[in-house]
Amino acid sequence: MKNRRILLIVPPGGYYAERWSGGVLMPPLGIGYVAATLEQSAHSVAILDAHVARMTDREIVRELMAFRPDIAGITFTTENRFEAFRTARLIRETLPGCHVTGGGPHASLAAHDTLEGIEAFDSIVVGEGETTMPLLADCLAAQGGDAGLRRIPGLVFRSTDRSLVDTGPALRIQNLDALPFPARHLYPAAETYNFRFDVPGHGIKRFSNLMTSRGCPANCNFCATPKVWGRTVRMRSPENIIAEMEAMVREQGAEAFWFFDDTFNSNPRRVERLCDLMIERGLDRMPWFCEVRVDVMSRELLERMKTAGCYTIGFGVESGSQRILDDVIRKNLKLEKVHELYGWCRELDVVANPFFIISHPTETWEEAQATVSLIRTFKERAHVSMAFLHVYPGTDLEETARRNGTLPPDFRWYQDRNDVKTLASAQGNVPIFLDRLTWTQISDILFEWAKMQHFSVIRKIPKVLRSIRTWSDFFRYAVMGWRYIVNRIVR
């Protein structure tokens, strides 16, 4: 059996959240893990992060011709799916015999949709690629054909007769400690990502990212995380995490850590043990960020985290309306607890980073204003993030969006539609959920948030103009421009 040459690709371009728009990018953990497991299987693996390298199509072709992969794996989200589709077509044109597979959040939740619409893909890896990708590579190396592919769980592939075959879900990896650390030696140089932030009291620090758990127990209507990772949170041991952190300091020169978990504090005792180990090993001198669940947070735990180096925490609030939280989002959160956590952050000098969303199903103008009022109470001592409600495949919100007309009856995710409302330059090429709020009201809220965050709207104008493709786009941005002028006058 001849081992395969495998190229794992982050497609070029696409939208990244405002936090990453200033030339700061996070190395891709997902393909780092997949690359590490493939290396254990003795396959030849390379990573091509075409986004951070700002590569053109011609440059991608040059890399393809130089490496000549037998398998090309493209990871993508809903935000950059069209860039991924273009990259898949480019690979198919350049190397017709290469097996092109897709993975990542969007691919996992819209596997059939992607394969039905994008002929350049041969297969989609659904869920955790560390299990499926080595089996796929081994099967292709052994020329196992359709019969071999059918025995690989977590795969949707195009058979020799062009029909789609779904092998069913793969079992989720229960022992995350058994996974090798991401193959960071295959990433571009750390300087390329410029993954640096200004840490209060410490100055500019070079961050390194790691994930210590997978899954989220919540059941929020808009979130795809439980669909991808599951609602049971699987956790790495504190000892295993510390080993990776020390390796990152030793091998990559990490100066700070970014824990990329959805619910870092799902098990408070694990966090306490991890903090104790950080202090014992001298890692408490290194600042770190994490995202937490508000409902299981305590002052004692936050104090322990602060002592171990935590300087800021992110947490989802989503809405200032308790009705929206309870009846629409299904978020197990009381607003009193949010105020309590914010108070602890102020007492302990931990920067709060609450997240909010506007335009929920049935949300009224008054309820949206309650969210703005809550943001206003945080603005002086917190870094507030806000977004319009996005519709993602496989979520409960997608079903609501199809019922209320946000998504047309014949909507397909592989289609770049002109009749679906997006703000590609400001919020990514993802459908925005609309219900009771008008576009004028949404615009007013956006500019109110921008004002509170001292965010310059003017610098977005060139990107906005480049993103206009239809009269519908022009109308939406024209309304926003008018409301911006009105808000400036009122101010």
The pLDDT of residue 20 is: 52
Cα–Cα dist 421/77, whole Å: 18
Cα–Cα dist 199/310, whole Å: 10
Nearest to 260 by CA among 15, 50, 19, 35: 19
Nearest to 189 by CA among 320, 400, 336, 27: 27
Residue given tokens 């991808």 in the structure block? 228
CA 450 to chain centre: 22
* Mean pLDDT of all residues in 74-78: 96
Which of 106, 135, 159 is a domain's end point? 159
Q: What is the pLDDT of residues 315-337, one digit of tens each?
A: 999 999 999 999 999 998 999 99
The pLDDT of residue 472 is: 74
Residues 48 and 116 in one domain: yes
Confidence band, pLDDT 50/70/90 cuts, at residue 468: confident
Residues 140 and 224 in one domain: no
Residues 142 and 260 in one domain: no
Residues 149 and 199 in one domain: no
Has residue 279 been placed in a domain? yes
Q: What is the pLDDT of residues 369-379, one digit of tens each?
A: 999 999 999 87
Retrieve residue 221's tokens: 């209507």
Has residue 454 been placed in a domain? yes
Identify the CATH number of the domain in which residue 81 sits.
3.40.50.280
Retrieve residue 265's tokens: 């504090």
Retrieve residue 33's tokens: 């893990």
140 touches 71 (CB < 8 A): yes
Which of 159, 176, 211 is a domain's end point? 159
**Vertex 452 angle, CA 80 and 347, to 5°:** 100
Q: pLDDT at residue 391 above 90? A: yes
Beta-carbon contacts of 230 under 8 Å, excluding residues fewer than 6 positions away, are 172, 214, 215
Retrieve residue 227's tokens: 């669909």
The pLDDT of residue 130 is: 97
396 touches 67 (CB < 8 A): no
Residues 153 and 208 in one domain: no
Strand pairing report for 203-210 and 256-259: parallel
Q: How many residues does the chain have?
A: 491
Cα–Cα dist 26/28, whole Å: 6
DSSP string, 188-237: PPHHHHT-EEEETTTEEEEEEEE--EE------TT--HHHHH-SSPEE--
Residues 321 and 238 in one domain: yes
Q: pLDDT at residue 146 above 60? A: yes
- Beta-carbon-side half-sphere exposure of residue 299 (alpha carbons within 13 Å): 10
Residues 260 and 129 in one domain: no
Helices (H), 281-351: 299-307, 322-323, 335-348
Looking at the whole model, is its pTM more than 0.85?
A: yes
User: 5 burial class (0-12, 13-18, 19+ CB within 10 angstroms)?
Assistant: middle
Number of Cβ within 10 Å of residue 265's Cβ equals 25
81 is in which domain, residue-wise? 5-159
What angle do the packed helices 335-348 and 299-307 form, to 10 degrees? 30
**Vertex 114 angle, CA 26 and 159, to 5°:** 120
Has residue 177 been placed in a domain? no
Q: How many separate domains does the chain show?
A: 2
Three-class DSSP category at 174: coil
The pLDDT of residue 14 is: 72
Residues 296 and 200 in one domain: yes
154 touches 125 (CB < 8 A): yes
214 touches 234 (CB < 8 A): yes
Number of Cβ within 10 Å of residue 284's Cβ equals 18
Residues 279 and 409 in one domain: yes
The pLDDT of residue 415 is: 95
Has residue 377 been placed in a domain? yes
Beta-carbon contacts of 52 under 8 Å, excluding residues fewer than 6 positions away, are 10, 25, 188, 192, 193
Residues 249 and 351 in one domain: yes
Has residue 135 been placed in a domain? yes
Q: What residues form DSSP beta bridges with 208? A: 257
* Mean pLDDT of all residues in 467-491: 76
Give the Å distances, CA to CA, from 453 to 320, 348, 349, 441, 477. 18, 22, 19, 19, 21
Has residue 215 been placed in a domain? yes
Q: What is the pLDDT of residues 394-429, one digit of tens each?
A: 999 999 999 999 999 999 999 998 889 888 766 778
Q: What is the pLDDT of residues 228-243, one digit of tens each?
A: 898 899 999 999 999 9
Which of 159, 187, 217 is a domain's end point? 159
Residues 47 and 116 in one domain: yes
Residues 252 and 356 in one domain: yes
The pLDDT of residue 18 is: 47
Cα–Cα dist 370/176, whole Å: 41
Has residue 181 been placed in a domain? no
Cα–Cα dist 320/73, whole Å: 41
The pLDDT of residue 1 is: 56
Identify the CATH number of the domain in which residue 263 sits.
3.80.30.20
Has residue 186 been placed in a domain? no
